Structure 1
């Protein structure tokens, strides 16, 4: 049958009890599986066993965000909305058959949104059906604590809070433990787990490699537009100062800081937003995210990759234009002279001339006008990351760049998130993907990801030979209408961008300027 949701099928035994999902068109779906529980600011714990059969036919709660995103650009990035709760430790799973003998590769997806927003279902293209159906892998997507619920440093206020600044990451470790202990009964191989994520999710993939407790819980890693590089903590507020500011807005004395555990969610969010805005006006920034301590080692670009992470095959990539979300420039209808004029106006006559030459060399089939949208925020640290890990790792390291130009709004180079539908095989769900020859491009991109998850080697039919990066060199697979490989293609281009590109101050999650809106708002850009 195309659809089955009965009292007895599909039912799977887990370490804590039985779960019932539903079968649809060749794939078993299990939604809203509770993998852990946790008290506010404290480490996650395993769930208690249960009797009978629990329903797994509905998505679990998302983590609350501190400000509701303002929907925009849905044609570029299609989203879904869902109820939220700080008790958000849920995962979703897709598998073609729940056979313990199948030992299928497991692909564990970590969503974007920095460390402050997003969910395992927020983008339509996060659906794991096609990967499970067409490529016979088990797909897992996961929710975990974010923002102040996952990364508020309360360590100055009691031993039980000593790792509160990292509990969002600890949730992910607990989810990977659930996979280790249970995935075989869903047809997956607990010894072949690939963690992959984009933007903040990509950053979390790297962080997991720097957490000793995660050693052995995954075996391959894919970082998509997720290397931001060091130096983001300038003027960052220390944990105790932020907590004291939050307490002030709630009229709670410092000696009773533990009362923050019981403040109702909405009131807690209100106080956090007030505190963030107050500190921001003093020139101080709140950067939600993990902090090195006994649990999390360090950012590998600031210090070193852990020995265990150097043994994990890794794929790292980004897209050509990342945060060029503004309106199109009608580049499709520009003459060569108009394109060159645009570039020179943006970079200056001298810089524009040099960048036009170099952009034309590395992107010979792309209109030169797209040089004004060229990303350096992710690309520069990605190059450093790949070269460093390629030089030091015993496992292979591969690099890619998604460089497609879309026939959208007069022509638009690939933006942040635009590669995700292709890798998931979900272009059919996202109208903007339906460009000329989109199915062929999707086939090779999906094939590369799945082959990498299966074997640690992304080479697949339809792509030129893709060599690993080693000895400080960087081989880049350029995913475009014509896929190709280039060696050290970005070095000179990045040098020119550093010299001539106007500075752009990107502050993810900065409070809104509108004084009448205490909760602020942010564009739905992840």
Structure 2
């Protein structure tokens, strides 16, 4: 009997612990933990009573099922509330002095150590809702009183996972999940999301370099305060960082001929890009109030954010709004961009399919649908296009004519860009050739000559390199050659530093170059922190003068021949580009002509 009792206690304790784990991963409120503990105690008492009285198995089973059913009820009853994210994780943070912008007065908050200031959730455009859905962004209206800019605004409308799914992704993908009761809530999403955040060094500052960062997320997800790329690190080093949100998915990139006809500019399909331009205009007009230099703005972005920067480099609407650019892990400078871009014909065709899917015969009918229903179309609409207004032609065509907005470029990609994208798409000797043939067609033999796989392991390794090159490395090679052709100073890098977290996968460089490696994190070693200091130095120098070099940093040479890169890895040193043979085949495939 003692053995059975011990086993029962162990089983009950493990089950209760599992329930607590579910509540934590799902971000349920504290009351959920209390109720679950009470239910656990009740279950234990009832079970012991049954043992003493009848000891019937079906009664014990009924009590166990009742406990589980009640726990499910507790999960739903104590579901995490929706609430905005505080700009600093400090109770009653110190407020900054009042800053006056064109729309009114606002106050931000100081960081915990008072080294920098944050102004969160500042509106830069009118909410694009109702009749303003799928229209060019309008200037933000003035507000009365003092705007308290101490919480981030809702994320732009996008598909959402259950909280427990996001937590498991953090554990499995990033390995940095932290148990806390301070984040037991769900971050809101909204169509009303055209707000930006400003990070600046604390105190009275003047004429500081400004970095405007466009977040990634395939133009369908993401937000403007993610810890890896937020402005804290650069603000500590004397730069101002601005991160705007912009319309995503169907709200940012839906195209329709009706919309073009309604627009005074004849545009459709690039609303997210127009938001980014509106944010740049706001920065130009207001950044001096924060101590920034409106004539020294660097536009930066990662992944789809870098693709957006790439497009803005040749947008006539963005001319004069920034001086130089930083592009991490994406461009749309190739002849046929592999992602984040499509033809207007493709955009309009997708738009018609969306109307048909919802049974709508006009854009006005589509506008009346709730955002929560339309958000499911994100996968069909997350591409920029040539609309004749924001973009009059592809960036490749503009560069060929010598048309561009930037005066210097810093750009690059990561060593394992493809890793996250081929988790369920690995290659073996059975499918290696067919995978290559599907993309390269008549040029397959040339690829197999460069990458002659002989084992499953080799096939998988080569496939990962080819995939990464097609979608990330090669577009950067194209951008570099276009820059050289146009006499634009250009500096290229390869990030290849592994660590205990994301490593050199897609977006792995962000936490380094924006100086946001968490203090005390055991996922990073001394070399990681040394490399981060170097990259922050390069980024800050480039944002200041257009040249990343300075001080004791290793010399970063311009990539004038499009054949040498700065390696950010166990060492920081110049290396030769290793994928020229593959790039030559991609030139053939795309019809590169420069």
TM-score, length-scaled by structure 1: 0.76
Partner-residue secondary structure (3-state), 2:282: helix
- Show the counterpart of 1:187: 291
Aligned partners of 1:21 and 1:30 also within 8 Å? yes
- Show the counterpart of 1:252: 360
More helix by share: 2
Q: What is the root-mean-square deviation in Å for CA atoms of aligned residues?
A: 3.7
Aligned partners of 1:242, 1:345: CA distance in 2, in Å? Answer: 31
Aligned partners of 1:268, 1:21: CA distance in 2, in Å? Answer: 34
Counterparts in 2 of 1:219 and 1:83: CA distance versus 1, 3 Å: same
Note if 1:449 corresponds to 2:536. no
1:192 Cα shift? 0.6
- Show the counterpart of 1:218: 322
- Show the counterpart of 2:418: 323
1:98 Cα shift? 5.4
- Show the counterpart of 2:516: 426
CA deviation map 1:311-338 (0-9, x unaligned): 521111000110213899xxxxxxxxxx
Note if 1:202 corresponds to 2:306. yes
- Show the counterpart of 1:511: none
| Matched ranges for 1:25-424 at <5 A | 25-37=114-126, 38=128, 39-66=132-159, 68=161, 71=166, 73-75=169-171, 76-77=173-174, 82-97=187-202, 99=204, 102-121=206-225, 123-133=226-236, 135-157=237-259, 159-161=261-263, 162-227=266-331, 229=334, 230=336, 232=338, 238-254=346-362, 257-270=363-376, 272=377, 288-301=383-396, 304=399, 307=402, 309=404, 311-325=406-420, 373-374=464-465, 375-376=468-469, 377-393=471-487, 395-406=488-499, 414-424=504-514
Please identify the structure whose Cα radius of gyration is greater.
2
Counterparts in 2 of 1:205 and 1:432: CA distance versus 1, 3 Å: farther
Note if 1:18 corresponds to 2:114. no
Aligned partners of 1:247 and 1:253 also within 8 Å? yes
Partner-residue secondary structure (3-state), 1:125: coil
Counterparts in 2 of 1:312 and 1:3: CA distance versus 1, 3 Å: farther
1:74 Cα shift? 2.1
1:288 Cα shift? 2.7
Counterparts in 2 of 1:236 and 1:292: CA distance versus 1, 3 Å: closer
1:372 Cα shift? 6.2
Partner-residue secondary structure (3-state), 1:268: helix
Aligned partners of 2:386 and 2:394 also within 8 Å? no
1:289 Cα shift? 2.3
Partner-residue secondary structure (3-state), 2:189: coil
CA deviation map 1:221-272 (0-9, x unaligned): 0010012541547899734443333333433334xx32322221123335x3
Q: Gapped runs of 5+ residues in structure 2?
A: 1-89, 178-182, 437-445, 589-594
| Matched ranges for 1:466-477 at <5 A | 466-470=556-560, 472-477=561-566
Partner-residue secondary structure (3-state), 2:220: coil
* Deviates further, 41-50 or 371-380: 371-380
Counterparts in 2 of 1:381 and 1:343: CA distance versus 1, 3 Å: farther
Aligned partners of 1:463 and 1:484 also within 8 Å? no
1:185 Cα shift? 1.1
1:154 Cα shift? 2.2
1:116 Cα shift? 1.6
Counterparts in 2 of 1:490 and 1:67: CA distance versus 1, 3 Å: same
1:304 Cα shift? 2.8
1:467 Cα shift? 1.6
1:466 Cα shift? 1.5
Aligned partners of 1:31 and 1:56 also within 8 Å? yes
Aligned partners of 2:463, 2:385: CA distance in 1, in Å? Answer: 33
Counterparts in 2 of 1:73 and 1:463: CA distance versus 1, 3 Å: farther
Counterparts in 2 of 1:18 and 1:126: CA distance versus 1, 3 Å: same
1:95 Cα shift? 0.8
Counterparts in 2 of 1:164 and 1:494: CA distance versus 1, 3 Å: closer
Aligned partners of 2:495, 2:281: CA distance in 1, in Å? Answer: 32
Partner-residue secondary structure (3-state), 2:298: strand
The number of residue pairs the alignment matches comes to 454
Aligned partners of 1:475, 1:432: CA distance in 2, in Å? Answer: 33
Aligned partners of 1:150, 1:344: CA distance in 2, in Å? Answer: 41
* Deviates further, 139-148 or 483-492: 483-492
Aligned partners of 1:17 and 1:50 also within 8 Å? yes
1:431 Cα shift? 4.7
Counterparts in 2 of 1:240 and 1:311: CA distance versus 1, 3 Å: closer
Partner-residue secondary structure (3-state), 1:49: coil
1:5 Cα shift? 4.9
- Show the counterpart of 1:523: none
Counterparts in 2 of 1:5 and 1:436: CA distance versus 1, 3 Å: closer
Aligned partners of 1:407, 1:118: CA distance in 2, in Å? Answer: 23
1:213 Cα shift? 1.4
Q: Gapped runs of 5+ residues in structure 1?
A: 277-284, 329-341, 358-366, 500-526
1:495 Cα shift? 5.6
| Matched ranges for 1:443-522 at <5 A | 443-470=533-560, 472-492=561-581, 494=583
Aligned partners of 2:567 and 2:574 also within 8 Å? yes
CA deviation map 1:395-419 (0-9, x unaligned): 31111010123357xxx86100110
1:345 Cα shift? 11
CA deviation map 1:192-225 (0-9, x unaligned): 1111111000001111112111111111100100
Counterparts in 2 of 1:226 and 1:29: CA distance versus 1, 3 Å: same
Aligned partners of 1:429, 1:392: CA distance in 2, in Å? Answer: 42
Aligned partners of 2:389, 2:516: CA distance in 1, in Å? Answer: 40
1:430 Cα shift? 9.7
TM-score, length-scaled by structure 2: 0.68
